[in-house]
Amino acid sequence: MMQGRPEATLRLVLLLILCSCTWQRSTEQGERSVPAAGGRDRRPPLECHRRPGESTSNQFPSLSPRGETPCFPTWPAELQRRTLPIVRSFQGELGLYVRVIGKRGVYDLHAQSPFYLASTVKVPLLVALLHEAREGNLDLRQRITLSREHYRDGGHHLMALPEGTELSLEEVASYMVEKSDNAATDLLFDRLGVERVNHLVRELGFAELGPLLPMLEVRRAVWGFLEPRARSFTAKDFIDLWLAKTPAKRVAVFNGKLRPRGTFTVAELDRAFAAFYSSGYNTSTLEAFAGFLERLYLRQVLGDPYDGKVLNLMGRCETGANRLRKHFPPQATFAHKTGTQHQLVVDLGLAELPCVQGVLIAAYARKFKTRTGGDAALASLGRATLQALCGE
């Protein structure tokens, strides 16, 4: 077939010789790369891309008893395995964000979904207060005299104090964070100014945060979605609603305050809260809030000693015993803040666990049937996080 075309035959022969040589060299190199019995493979080991300042040692300081490596931490997959049945059995929506500061790996369940902060908004408010103290714009020893107009729903600790009681700003801040007192919260909003608080929080790096409102204005906004006349309600009116412990009873009290009497239902109240939650006020994401907590941990917001003061107060938080920390061992610590609102419970903080320190854990449960069910779901997420990081 090749007669008359010697140049084509020559090219074919040369091509076959070249392929044969190439195959032989690659085979020899492959044989040399396989260690002999009892020998060692001298090829450089696979290494991760390291962040500046990370150790270049091949020995990884163990994060947990699971013996995972910095390249491929296994705890996120383990947490996913443990979280999946919790999510499937929960009648509502769950969000969870977990990350170990300075380590690789993250767990993210709806962590970029905006959610209403409820009382966790008190953390950025505290940071704004301490900023003003650091700058010399106020003295934390300054005293405020309580009056009846300062009382708020969800503020029963200050309501238990008689009118005329004097409290320092530092004491008010303690009531706000440790006991989650709403009256203390609005006292600090009044002292700093709402616009100033919002400006400071953004200036300090918490950009992914909706406009902050005082607790009384939140109530007026929510119930105002139901009936515009509620925007003129007093703090005492909302205390009356708060004392009616169930949504049905609150709607009944609300209807009784209207002239003519209202006919609103619990379903309409649900829609009013949903409308407010969608408005963006007092709103953030789990990931953004955890990032702010990380900067506090690293002393990058106000610096020492102020960032430490924030975390110390969060470490004395008295609420949320049945949420994320319910199944933590006694030696664990959790500097956190909780929040509670209509069909919503929140818990955000920094955990020091037996196996690892600096764990950011942020979670919410919402759209549930009962608050007890929401609390139980967060407790289950906390236990799953502990087990995924530290083992059984």
pLDDT, one tens digit per residue, over 315-354 is: 999 999 999 999 999 999 999 999 999 999 999 999 999 9
For the chain, give the number of residues. Answer: 392
- The residue whose two tokens read 């060299």 is 25
Q: Is 247 a domain residue?
A: yes
**Domain span at residue 337?**
77-212+281-390
Confidence category of residue 55, pLDDT binned at 50, 70, 90: very low
- Starting at the earlier edge strand, list the strands of the sheet with 106-109: 106-109, 93-100, 359-366, 344-352, 333-341
Around Cβ 114, how many Cβ atoms within 10 Å?
A: 16
pLDDT of residue 68: 53
User: Following CA atoms 182, 185, 186, 190 in sequence, which dihedral angle do they give, to the nearest 10 degrees?
Assistant: 170
Among 250, 277, 304, give the residue marking a domain's end: 277
Distance of alpha carbon 365 from alpha carbon 371, whole angstroms: 9
Are residue 372 and residue 342 in the same domain, yes or no?
yes
Are residue 186 and residue 313 in the same domain, yes or no?
yes
Cβ distance 282 to 219 under 8 Å?
no
Are residue 92 and residue 113 in the same domain, yes or no?
yes
Q: What is the 3-state secondary structure (H, E, C) of 114-159?
A: CEECHHHHHHHHHHHHHHHHHCCCCCCCCEEECCHHHCCCCCHHHH
Q: Among 27-31, 180-184, 341-345, 360-364, name the one with the lowest average pLDDT.
A: 27-31
Are residue 305 and residue 386 in the same domain, yes or no?
yes
Which carries the bigger pLDDT value, residue 293 or residue 206? 293
Q: Per DSSP, what are the bridge partners of residue 338?
A: 347
Are residue 156 and residue 220 in the same domain, yes or no?
no
Q: Is 32 a domain residue?
A: no
Q: pTM (2 decimals)?
A: 0.82
Q: Is 49 a domain residue?
A: no
Are residue 157 and residue 287 in the same domain, yes or no?
yes
Around Cβ 169, how many Cβ atoms within 10 Å?
A: 22
Q: Is 67 a domain residue?
A: no
pLDDT of residue 33: 35
pLDDT of residue 222: 97
Longest alpha-carbon distance in the chain: 117
Are residue 271 and residue 296 in the same domain, yes or no?
no
| Mean pLDDT in residue range 140-159 | 93
Are residue 265 and residue 309 in the same domain, yes or no?
no
Are residue 235 and residue 302 in the same domain, yes or no?
no
Are residue 229 and residue 355 in the same domain, yes or no?
no
* Domains: count for the chain: 2
Q: Is 55 a domain residue?
A: no
- Radius of gyration of the chain from its Cα atoms, rounded to whole angstroms: 29
